[in-house]
Structure 1
Amino acid sequence: MTITDTTKTVYDLITPELRADLITMIREDSWPEMTDAQGERGVDQMAAFLAVAANTTQKATPSLRVDLFWHAFVLHTKPYADFCEALAGRFIHHVPDRNSGHNPTEGRKAMRRTADMIRAAGFDTDPEYWPADNAADCSGDCSQSYAGCSDSPVAK
């Protein structure tokens, strides 16, 4: 992964101790087979997602795996609020959308748009965390790739 000064700064807003705690939480709560390397990449993907969500007027939608990390991070209210302030100068709200019906086709489109925004901002996207990138024709249960959550876009 090529890390630019901007992406390095975003990733560094999350301390090694907090990273370890987020990885442990997700491993214990929902993804027991996750490796430390997958966890580190997951924290980075979440940070990149939040960096983009904080600086767009468009709705940004995480993948299910990115959303797992975001949920864990939100539970760390003080570090999460500090991260948001340092990154965006405001709180980045997590907005569940339980009424969306979790349409797999719409979910893949929303995630592709978000992954495109992340890449346009200079971050890499990891296909293990953004499955819609590799799922032009998704076989199996595509609903696993869409969490039905989004950020609260900034009106600029």
Structure 2
Amino acid sequence: MIPQRAVEQFLVFIKAHADNVNNSDFGMPLPDGSIGRVVPTLPIDAVWHAVLQHTEPYAAACEQIAGGFVHHIPILTEGMMDGTAVTFTLAALHGTGYRVDMEFWYGEAESCCPPNPPQPGNK
């Protein structure tokens, strides 16, 4: 069972994503040329994987919080490995105005998947 505090932090993460997804002045370049705004730590990514197994309530929560579905795109960038991405993420989390429980945001972000796994449609 996922602790309620972890789910709360995941929802703050989704809100931080929504607040910054279109902010051209915030974030860092990703390998595909897009801009990364927020990244999960391993505990938050574990929650993400769990909620993705329940697509209808996840999609509804995304719609309510972010205005649309938030896709999980497993990548691992240098910024994630060196902690830069977590710095951006923490700024975004605090910017939501919600409580940020640092127990879930300590350390570097890591990918839950192998570095740059194949994406659907690409071999």
Looking at structure 1, the residues matched to 65 and 102 of structure 2 have their Cα atoms a distance apart, in angstroms, of 24
Looking at structure 2, the residues matched to 130 and 74 of structure 1 have their Cα atoms a distance apart, in angstroms, of 20
Residue 45 of structure 2 corresponds to 67
Taking structure 2 as the reference length, the TM-score comes to 0.70
Tell me, yes or no, if the aligned pair for 2:10 and 2:44 is still in contact at 8 Å. Answer: yes
Gaps of 5+ in 1: 1-23, 27-38, 133-144, 150-156
Displacement of 1:88 in angstroms is 2.2
- Match of residue 128, structure 1, among 79, 99, 103: 103
Which amino acid is 1:148 matched to?
Answer: S
- Ranges of 4+ aligned residues in structure 1 off by more than 4 Å: none
Compare CA radii of gyration and give the structure with the larger one: 1
Q: Which has the higher helix share?
A: 1
Gaps of 5+ in 2: 22-26, 28-36, 113-123
Give the 3-state SS of the residue equivalent to 1:72 in structure 2.
Answer: helix
Tell me, yes or no, if the aligned pair for 1:61 and 1:148 is still in contact at 8 Å. Answer: no
Displacement of 1:103 in angstroms is 5.8
Residue 17 of structure 2 corresponds to 53
Taking structure 1 as the reference length, the TM-score comes to 0.56
Q: Identical aligned pairs, as a percentage?
A: 33
